[in-house]
Amino acid sequence: MSSLGGKVAIVTGGTGGIGKGIALKLAARGATVVINGRSALKAESILAEIQQAGGAADFLPGDVRSKSDMDALAAETARRYGGVDIVVANAGGNDDEARSPQVRGPFANIDLARVAALVAENTVAKLFPAQAALPYMRQRGSGSIIFVTSEGGRVPTRGQTAVSTFAGGLIRASKVIAKELAGDRIRVNCVCVTIVRDSPSWEAVFGEDSKVSEQHRKQYEKIVASCPLGVAGPQDIGQVVAFLASDESAYLTGATISPTGGLTIH
């Protein structure tokens, strides 16, 4: 398929997990994919995989929590490849902190100062790359921004005050941004995920070095057992993102899509 031929895409957090699945699908559809992360070493294998399949990919470093890093990422992408058409804001801010019992746990027990700091950090981690790319999308006359966030922003789950706050806020913000940018033909949509195999979150719960709380693990085990269509893999999420990035969804903006395999229905 070449439905994204000639397009230039930035994928934050693209060196593994969901981001890797997204990068692979965008490249398979013909996009030039610029993978952003903090480790060039981690990017090597996915760059090789994309290139061996005949796709085009590059790596540019940067911390999604830094406005200057994201401005530099967008500028360098445009300099190397002529512009930016797609931004997939996939990377979070601080996943380890998000799993901490002081942040993820019963409301009565969590540290609200740490929760507030995490909410701010994870929110700008999504918004900085999108804002940085806007001038280059406007130069192209169109664009697609896809925020990848948690289904916890749509469905209340015990112990997820922090997740619900930043993911729910991002979902609402995406609709505001979609309204603002529709006149520029820049579409903005959200993809909300739950458990995804072969991702850092999956390894944090089910890996050999798991350090999450017992409540956290039991929630994940319940989700795995309850998902009618099974647990998604990174490339399953990548398929949804590639659709939203392509002209196949040219009339879709301000939407929130939950590829949760029937676990949640909206």
- Binning pLDDT at 50, 70 and 90, where does residue 2 land? low
pTM: 0.93
Q: What is the pLDDT of residue 218?
A: 82
Burial of 183 (0-12, 13-18, 19+ CB in 10 A): exposed
The C-alpha atoms of residue 196 and residue 18 are separated, in whole angstroms, by: 7
Q: Judge whether residue 57 has pLDDT over 90.
A: yes
Residue 175: other Cβ atoms inside 10 A: 16
- Binning pLDDT at 50, 70 and 90, where does residue 70 land? very high
User: What percentage of residues in the chain have a pLDDT greater than 90?
Assistant: 78
- 257 - beta bridge partners? 191
For residue 139, the number of C-alpha atoms closer than 13 Å in the C-beta half-sphere is 13
Query: If DSSP states are collapsed to H, E and C, what string results for 102-139?
Result: CCCCCCCCCCHHHHHHHHHHHHHHHHHHHHHHHHHHHH
Q: How confident is the prediction for the chain on average, in pLDDT?
A: 93
Q: Judge whether residue 24 has pLDDT over 90.
A: yes
Mean pLDDT of the 138-144 span: 98
Q: What is the pLDDT of residue 1?
A: 55
Q: Judge whether residue 247 has pLDDT over 80.
A: yes
Q: What is the pLDDT of residue 99?
A: 81
- Sheet with 256-257, strands from edge to edge, namely 56-61, 32-37, 8-12, 86-89, 143-150, 186-193, 256-257
Pair 163, 153: CB distance under 8 Å: yes
Mean pLDDT of the 247-253 span: 96
The C-alpha atoms of residue 254 and residue 43 are separated, in whole angstroms, by: 31
